Amino acid sequence: MTKYPDREWRFSQEDWLKASRLTAGGVTFLLTLSASQFLQGRLLGISAASRAATFAGMLSVSTGSMLASLAADEAPATLSVALGWVPEKDRRRKGSVIDKRGSISSSTFSLLGYDAGKKEERLLGAARTALVGMLLFKGLGGRFSGVAPSNVAQPGAFFNVRGTLPAGLEYASPKQKRRLDMFGWVYGCHTCGRRQMGDYVGDHMPPRKVAVEMSRRWWRRLLGIRVKQRFTPQCRPCSSIQSAAVRSDRRILVYHYLSLRRYHATGAVLEVVSLLPGQGMLDGLIHQNVEQVSAWWRRKGRAEGDWQRR
């Protein structure tokens, strides 16, 4: 509790409930992306450079957004029952938001404003949550393909063309290494995302051995086209793994569960948006359309009922 001359601030019950929503949404989204990374790498063999990585990432982010919304909807009720604010018998399975009187009221499936008991509105709310989640993920700098693990012989999950330099078959010069160290501090190792003060390796991408083999293909030799390479920052542990993988012609994936960026907070930001008063522009642009679609479904249901009674 902090005292000010004209006002006394307390972390109220309502603040605890909002904090529980943010925490549940943020943690659930992060765990969903981690589980997706594991499944993509271990079961499906998808890396950040795979063609299927973008679609798998979009599916992961949309699923994580919906699960984060569900977890956030349940968190206030769970917290209130655990702390004794509301008796267990008063808890509703579909509820989450607890008003100032201490009673549990029905919350939305996602960003406020919908009756959770109506199937069509639940589906529309889920679709909207998935869409807004993907937009927030991209707005916070995320790449859908970056959800997958990194293949050490290909551009990694944290590869950013703005953090690269033109390269030839020779190693990076001292001047290029200094610039790559700066890029590494900003963007991290392109394979694992690790950030550190300097000591990055100027990684050829694609690797020199791979680039030479690609350049020897008959159609490239016929047309005189050589594979263009870029220097990108890579930490020394990942560089050692890459060297071993290229020498033995093995496919090795590197997982980046602990390399967090702004876009990993999409689940929490999603709940911040849901707590904005009146939902602002988002409500005006989307809620009105959902209301129109819901009204159409209701009219359609009444029309079908009248037809069946004839």
Query: What is the C-alpha to C-alpha distance for residues 186 and 34, in angstroms, rounded to an integer?
Result: 23
- Whether the upstream peptide bond of residue 5 has omega within 30° of 0, thus cis, is no
Element (H, E) at 237: helix 236-248
How many percent of the chain have pLDDT more than 90?
A: 46
Secondary structure of residue 136 in the 3-state scheme: helix
- Mean pLDDT value across residues 108-123: 53
- Residue 256 has what pLDDT? 97
DSSP 33-88: HHHHHHHHHHTS---TTSTTHHHHHHHHHHHHHHHHHHHHHHHHHHHHHHTTSS-G
What values do phi and psi take at 276, rounded to 5?
Answer: -65, 135
- Mean pLDDT value across residues 12-19: 82
- Residue 13 has what pLDDT? 77
User: What is the per-residue pLDDT across 130-148, written as a single tens digit (0 to 9) for each?
Assistant: 999 999 999 999 999 999 9
Q: How far apart are the first and last CA of the chain?
A: 68
User: What is the per-residue pLDDT across 74-107, written as a single tens digit (0 to 9) for each?
Assistant: 888 888 878 777 655 555 543 434 443 333 333 4
Query: What is the C-alpha to C-alpha distance for residues 194 and 156, in angstroms, rounded to an integer?
Result: 12
The residue count of the chain comes to 310
Least confident of 34-48, 166-180, 210-224: 210-224
Structure confidence at residue 163 as a pLDDT band (50, 70, 90): very high
- Residue 125 has what pLDDT? 80
Quote the mean pLDDT of the chain: 79
Structure confidence at residue 219 as a pLDDT band (50, 70, 90): confident
Q: Which amino acid is at 244?
A: A
- Mean pLDDT value across residues 241-247: 91
In terms of pLDDT, which residue wins out, 143 or 304?
Answer: 143
- Residue 224 has what pLDDT? 77
- Residue 307 has what pLDDT? 38
How many percent of the chain have pLDDT more than 70?
A: 74
User: What is the per-residue pLDDT across 251-291, written as a single tens digit (0 to 9) for each?
Assistant: 999 999 999 999 999 999 998 887 765 444 444 444 444 45
In terms of pLDDT, which residue wins out, 214 or 269?
Answer: 269
pLDDT at 115 over 70: no
- Residue 277 has what pLDDT? 59
Which tokens go with 216? 């020897």
DSSP 14-37: HHHHHHHHHHHHHHHHHHHHHHHH
pTM of the entire predicted model: 0.76
